[in-house]
Structure 1
Amino acid sequence: MAEATQDTGAASATRNTPARISIWAAFLGASLIAGIFLTPMFWLLYGGFYTFLVFAFGVVAIPAGHLGRRRGKHLDGRDRGVALLGIVTGWTLIFFSLLLVLAYAGLLAGLAYLAGSTS
């Protein structure tokens, strides 16, 4: 029974946890972007919440990806590609969240202009 405990301890020691955190954060952020396109009414209602979560997942994915790349170097390249994908996706999420802020501000400005032109 003690051998089984030692085996799982050795397996978890060689696991590249930051790379896995990075890819999960990137996946969740990309899922939110898909949700924004599939349900635009929810984005209009809860735009700030969606945008904040996309930005937060991007901010988590980038440093975790860098840590995963560094840890992967010590683990003979284990999950370094996954960590790099997390870094690239994290930067894409941050860029997309900034575009969402601009789109939301443009939508509100356009509606304000239309409301002002009717009176």
Structure 2
Amino acid sequence: MASNAQQTAGPAVRSRNTPARVAAWAAALGAGLIVAIVAAPMFWLLYGGLYTAFMFLCGLVAIPAGHLGRRRGKRLGGQDRGKALLAIVTGWLLILFALVLVLAYVGLVAGLGVLSDSAS
């Protein structure tokens, strides 16, 4: 009788923590952009603004999705909570790295402006 009731209920639906997975993918994509900048600096010199903007956007996606994933993971019994926490930390690091890149670029342009002004 018990096996009959299990068969009629159908297969068990496994709940998925989608926000945690979205956060992890966004964090991984942003980290991949950092690796691309280090591996091929010529591409960053050509498309630096796009790389930096995508890195910042990946961080902006990873942080709220990671928080949603942590909250949903709490209701699902701890499923993917660590992945969501890693995505939150990585998202903040991506935003920090993007801001450092912008400040470095602004400093470089300002320094070149001062050098060219003092040369003439």
Question: Scaled by the length of structure 2, what TM-score is found?
Answer: 0.86
Is the Cα contact below 8 Å between 1:47 and 1:104 reproduced in 2? no
Q: What corresponds to 1:118 in structure 2?
A: 119
Q: What corresponds to 1:92 in structure 2?
A: 93
Deviations 1:78-104 (A, max 9, x none): 000000000000000011110010011
Rounded Cα–Cα distance in structure 2 between residues aligned with 1:34 and 1:117: 37
Counterpart amino acid of 1:106? G
Rounded Cα–Cα distance in structure 2 between residues aligned with 1:36 and 1:110: 22
Change (3 A) 1:20 1:91: same
Rounded Cα–Cα distance in structure 2 between residues aligned with 1:41 and 1:115: 24
Specify the structure having the higher radius of gyration (Cα).
2
Offset, 1:108: 1.3
Cα-Cα RMSD:
1.6
Instruction: Report how many aligned residue pairs link the two structures.
Output: 112
Structure 2: 5+ residue stretches without partners: 1-6
Q: What corresponds to 1:35 in structure 2?
A: 36
Rounded Cα–Cα distance in structure 2 between residues aligned with 1:42 and 1:105: 19
Identical aligned pairs, as a percentage? 64
Q: Larger deviation: 54-63 or 29-38? A: 29-38
